[in-house]
Amino acid sequence: MARCAREKSVSGIYHIMMRGINRQDIFLDEDDRCRFLEIIKRVQESGSCSIYGYCLMNNHIHLLLQEKEEELSIIMKRIGTSYAWRYNKKYDRVGHVFQNRFQSEPVDTEAYLLGVLRYIHNNPVKAKLVAKPEDYQWSSCQAYYQGQDSSGLVNTPFVLSILNGNGEAAIKQFADFMHQENADQFMDFKVKQRKSDDDLAQAIKEQLNGQPIELLQNMDIAMRNKIIREIKELEGVTQRQIARVTGIHQSIIFKA
């Protein structure tokens, strides 16, 4: 089946979503997240695009960016290829890191731009990782609350100026907007509700037909990896969490 052509944005601004292949985690530690931010900053500084927002979740990424000197497909290829090369080298693996085709939607009005940014920043809240969007370390929300991004990655003045010409007033209006009750949903991507460790432990015991979780540690490798792959398919769990609950090293969970 032929792929549908991407819908072009009149403004050049797009909401992008990249997912890990087979729903696998894209980030296994803070260093991974830092490296990804360095990559998109480097791409932005080359003049390719301007970044208006981001949120790095465990197995997917949201970006809000505007094309400049390069088309969207080229920008995303540069980002994806650079991160995948580094990720595969670090974790001694080969193959794709991201699902082959990123999702995108055009952002052609100021109202839609603000709505998308609120949706992006509230991803961690919906996933029950934090209580407030500004509490999440790996999104652009904190930069907007400060009025500027000290790292130089996010172009906060562009969005804040839409709300108010006065900087302090714009920040307050932005914060109020982030906390408004809403039913924002974009690109039909539903944020998974995260399982608690207790819920995950119960699910693993069910996979083991009621036997203790510790059984996994001494199991035949082929059978153990098969069960781990099934556990990784469960809704709302992360590879780091599986390692914590099972007592099996994260690298084994990752490679299973």
Successive 10-residue mean pLDDT values, the chain, 256 residues: 68 94 87 96 94 95 94 94 93 86 91 94 92 96 91 94 91 93 67 73 85 85 86 78 86 77
Which residues share a beta bridge with 54? 63
d(CA 174, CA 144): 8
Report the DSSP pairing between strands 60-67 and 103-106.
unpaired
pLDDT at 193: 61
How far, CA to CA in Å, does 240 sit from each of 97, 108, 158, 166? 17, 38, 37, 43
d(CA 78, CA 45): 13
pLDDT at 5: 65
In this prediction the pTM is: 0.73
pLDDT at 183: 72
d(CA 136, CA 191): 15
Which residues share a beta bridge with 158? none
pLDDT at 221: 86
Whether 234 and 195 have beta carbons less than 8 Å apart is answered as yes
Annotated domain spans of the chain: 13-179, 197-255
Mention every residue, 6+ apart, whose C-beta is less than 8 A from residue 123.
55, 57, 62, 139, 191
pLDDT at 188: 52
pLDDT at 2: 44
Whether 54 and 154 have beta carbons less than 8 Å apart is answered as yes
Fold for domain 13-179? Alpha-Beta Plaits (3.30.70)
pLDDT at 163: 93
- Report the 10 Å Cβ neighbour count for 116: 22
pLDDT at 154: 96
